[in-house]
């Protein structure tokens, strides 16, 4: 009797605790939205020809770099796990010393591996077209490369950028700039 009771007990115990779990594979395990929006604001820098000299009026040393305009860009794109992304961008760039306003339209490839718990290092290359808005009917290619640091939680970042426009106003060399700026990315 005792043996039959134990067999029935174990048999019922097995039936009670059995369950079926359905596993559904997810395409993007971390993100339900594989798209991003990006906003950038930067200022091109130029070398100060009087760097290191003492200003006779203020008595201060001249800085190495001077601000030379303003750039504002926006873009949208798709990413995989916030690590690699492809996007389309548009913007407006003002170069003060060249008296030039340019509208770049370009595609970009973005790599942003995580280097800390909440920090990513970002690199981005872009290629497209640039159109002059100053009335001199200039257009040409647009190339850019940038490197920066980004906060993973807030999406704020700091970057440096080199860009080149495929045209020139007067001289044969191409117009380009070195910029430092802030970006904000929304995933």
The string of pLDDT tens digits covering residues 27-66 is 545 556 789 999 999 999 998 888 888 888 888 898 999 9
DSSP-based three-state secondary structure for 10? helix
pLDDT in tens, 61-119: 989 999 999 999 999 999 998 899 999 999 999 999 888 899 999 999 999 999 988 99
Contact 14, 7 (CB under 8 A): no
């Amino acid at each position: 009797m005792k043996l039959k009771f134990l067999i029935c007990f174990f048999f019922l115990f097995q039936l009670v605790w059995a369950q079926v779990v359905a596993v559904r594979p997810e395409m993007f395990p971390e993100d339900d939205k594989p798209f991003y929006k990006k906003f950038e604001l930067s200022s091109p820098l130029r070398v100060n020809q009087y760097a290191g000299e003492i200003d006779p009026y203020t008595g201060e040393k001249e800085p190495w770099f001077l601000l030379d305009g303003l750039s504002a860009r926006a873009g949208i794109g798709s990413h995989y796990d916030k690590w690699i992304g492809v996007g389309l961008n548009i913007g407006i760039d003002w170069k003060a010393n060249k008296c030039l306003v340019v509208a770049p339209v370009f595609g970009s490839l973005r790599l942003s591996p995580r280097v800390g718990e909440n920090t990513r290092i970002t690199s981005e290359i872009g290629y497209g077209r640039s159109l002059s808005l100053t009335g001199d009917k200039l257009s040409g290619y647009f190339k850019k490369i940038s490197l920066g640091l980004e906060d993973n939680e807030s999406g704020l970042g700091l970057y440096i950028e080199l860009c080149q426009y495929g045209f020139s106003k007067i001289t044969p060399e191409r117009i380009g700039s070195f910029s430092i700026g802030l970006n904000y990315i929304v995933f």
